[in-house]
Amino acid sequence: MIATRDPATGEVIARVHGANLEDVERAVAEGARAAADPGWCDLLPHERARYLVRIADLIVERAGDLARLQTADTGKSINETRALVASAAGTFRYFAAALETMEESLTPPRGPYLTMSLHEPIGVVGAITPWNSPIASDAQKIAPALAAGNAVVLKPAEWTPLVSLALGRLVTDAGLPPGLLSVLPGPGRTTGDAIVRHPGVGKVTFTGGTVTGRTIGAVAAEKIMPVSLELGGKSPTIVFPDADLDQTVAGVLFGIFSSSGQSCIAGSRVFIHADVYADVLERLVRHTERLRVGPGADPATQVAPLVTHAHRDKVAAMVDRARQEGARVRCGGRAPDGPEFDRGAYYLPTVLDGLPNDSATCQEEIFGPVLVALPFTGEDDLVAQANDTVYGLACGIWTGDHRRAWRVARRIEAGTVWINTYKQFSISTPFSGMKASGIGTEKGRDGIRSYTRQKSLYWGL
Ligand code: NAD
């Protein structure tokens, strides 16, 4: 049994059966049966699309419960979990619409034959997701995989299985064939590994840490199986002197402290031009100190507790290491005071500076509410520092000069670059990481194609 706790109080809120190897066997076999022809994969695209719309409708109908459940399970603020639930519904609607408009290609003959290129479902897809935004990451994998005609075996993170289990029930309630989606909570090293290695699983789509991604990628290589890996980040946000500084400070703080910094795209290193360094740093610290720390269930909370006490302690240890590396702690750097914080996994939003970019603090993902400020002088110096990381997930550029924004955006190694905004998403815009931030793309029209195998037919005339 897996006990899941409310991070705001430390109380156990549910005990969940951890899936064992027999459960994995059964889920893959049932998935293969449900997806196989004649079955889910045999439905016409508009018929499958209708089911996806029904799932979206049910998510909207149950939005309040799903958001509260995710807040209790992950600690996230209720405003954020409401937005994540809405985005999950939007994801199912988007892939339903994309499915209806997808066409196979028939190429005019270049000889005495017709050629046809078909995209066929893979069969059973293994989806493995992290704890930081479960319903949104689950939807981004389940919706396109089902749309393409596959079955899905989903393994949510062991700390936060509740909303994924609720999504599984909801998919059954939407009338999809039993076994088409199985949700198997359990430890990564046993349940997750068994899904990845199972010969009946034809593709794995993974979101999580880079170390785990490397392990899964190695198994996929052994199996010669397609894999998509959405991994970690250490994303730079860049402040030029000509930026609108009020908007910039709000954007930089949102980029790091929303989700309490537990976000793959968190803008955790802020590069500030030397001319405005002191001014911007002072503003960042002043506004950080005013952020309201509290339980996720309170709509006024801006920085909620971290996902578990163990994770909070890990973040605290990384800040202690930053101190040993010579960091100046400008604010935060500890758990908040007060009896209301005693039982929860709280950590104050923290701003550090005084560290070089090659310090461990600036190179390793902290996955908590910790921002490091670094000065820069010229564009070449900036680009070299910003790109000097194994990761390449995201970047924010704050400037009033659109030519400079374009120039720098082109030189930055990141799958997503925001200019004068941060952490905004559209389901129609592809998302991927460069370097150790991953391989493969999610979202966008091609999202469905990534869950298919391509077959070419030559038809003699
Ligand atoms: P994690 O890698 O520890 O775990 C992710 C999932 O993988 C969990 O479900 C876990 O149980 C499972 N897992 C662990 N070992 C496994 C194995 N050997 N085989 C199969 N499955 C295994 O990551 P986490 O701590 O849950 O999440 C935080 C990480 O996720 C951060 O590094 C963050 O940057 C990353 N992330 C990336 C994105 C993105 O889109 N790029 C989005 C969110 C989170």
Tell me, in angstroms, the distance from the centre of ligand 1 to residue 207's CA.
Answer: 5
Helix-strand-coil split of the chain, %, nearest 5:
45, 20, 35
DSSP state string for 186-249: --IIIIIHHHHH-TTEEEEEEES-HHHHHHHHHHHHHHT--EEEE-----EEEE-TTS-HHHHH
Q: What is the 3-state secondary structure (H, E, C) of 87-104?
A: HHHHHHHHHHHHHHHCCC
Tell how far the Cα of 203 is from the centroid of ligand 1, in angstroms: 17
Q: Are 420 and 250 in contact (CB under 8 A)?
A: no
Task: Find out whether the beta carbon of 138 lies less than 6 Å from any atom of ligand 1.
Answer: no
When pLDDT is cut at 50, 70 and 90, the band that residue 108 belongs to is low
pLDDT tens digit string along 172-199?
999 999 999 999 999 999 999 999 999 9
Residues with Cβ within 8 Å of 220's Cβ and at least 6 positions away in sequence, in order, are: 196, 204, 226, 227
158 Cβ below 6 A of ligand 1: yes
Ligand 1 proximity of 126 Cβ (cutoff 6 Å)? no
Cα separation of the two ends of the chain: 61
DSSP letter, residue 424: -
Q: How confident is residue 127, by pLDDT bands cut at 50, 70 and 90?
A: very high
Atom of ligand 1 nearest to the CA of 216: 19
CA distance 413 to 169: 40
Would you say 307 and 133 are in contact if contact means Cβ atoms under 8 Å apart? no
Q: Which atom of ligand 1 is nearest to the CA of 210?
A: 32
Give the pLDDT confidence score for residue 109 in this predicted structure: 67
**104 versus 113: which is more confidently predicted?**
113
* Average pLDDT estimate for 270-291: 98
Position 446 confidence tier, pLDDT thresholds 50, 70, 90 = confident
**273 CB burial (10 A radius; 0-12, 13-18, 19+):** buried
d(CA 88, CA 138): 8
266 and 368 Cβ atoms separated by less than 8 Å: no
Per-residue pLDDT, 319: 98
- Give 209 Cα–ligand 1 centroid separation in angstroms: 4
- CA dihedral of 365, 366, 372, 377, whole degrees rounded to 10: 0
Active-site residue, 230 included:
yes
pLDDT at res. 7: 96
**The pLDDT of residue 59:** 98
Nearest CA to ligand 1 atom 11: 188
Determine the average pLDDT of the residues in 416-424: 97
Instruction: Name the residue with the closest Cα to ligand 1, atom 15.
Output: 188
Residue 110 above 80 pLDDT?
no
- State the pLDDT at residue 116: 86
CB of 242 sitting under 6 A from ligand 1: no
Helix, coil or strand: residue 259: helix
CA 31 remoteness from chain centre: 25
The pLDDT assigned to 459 comes to 87
pLDDT category of residue 130 using cuts at 50, 70 and 90 = very high
Using the mean position of ligand 1's atoms as its centre, give its distance from the Cα of residue 15 in Å.
Answer: 21
Residues 244 and 175: their CA atoms lie apart, in Å, by: 51
Atom of ligand 1 nearest to the CA of 233: 34
pLDDT of residue 106: 65
**Residue 267 dihedral angles phi and psi, to the nearest 5°:** -80, 85
**pLDDT tens profile 215-246:** 999 999 999 999 999 999 999 999 999 999 99
Q: Quote the CA–CA distance of 378 and 48 in Å, as a whole number.
A: 53
Task: Please choose, from the candidates 121, 102, 232, 130, the residue with its C-alpha nearest in 3D space to the C-alpha of residue 180.
Answer: 121
Which pLDDT does position 236 carry in this prediction?
Answer: 98
Tens of pLDDT, residue by residue over 41-94, are 999 999 999 999 999 999 999 999 999 999 999 999 999 999 999 999 999 999
Cβ of 52: how many Cβ atoms within 10 Å? 27
pLDDT at 454: 93
Model confidence at 107, pLDDT cuts 50, 70, 90, reads low
Tokens 């790091």 belong to 256
Question: Which among 214, 277, 208 has a CA at the least distance from the CA of 248?
Answer: 277
- Our answer on whether the CB atom of 230 is closer than 6 Å to any ligand 1 atom is yes
Q: Is the preceding omega at residue 38 within 30 degrees of 0, hence cis?
A: yes
Residue 111's pLDDT band (cuts 50, 70, 90): confident
Measured from the Cα of 187, ligand 1's closest atom is 11
Taking 90 as the threshold, does the pLDDT of residue 37 lie above it? no
Q: Which of 230, 365, 413, 442 is catalytic?
A: 230
* Whole-number pLDDT of residue 124: 98
Ligand 1 centroid to residue 140 C-alpha, Å: 15
Query: Per-residue pLDDT for 327 more than 80?
Result: yes
Instruction: Give the 3-state DSSP-derived string for 43-108, with helices as H, strands as E and coil as C.
Output: CCHHHHHHHHHHHHHHHHHCHHHHHHHHHHHHCCCHHHHHHHHHHHHHHHHHHHHHHHHCCCEEEE
ipTM surpassing 0.90: yes
Bridge partners of 281?
none
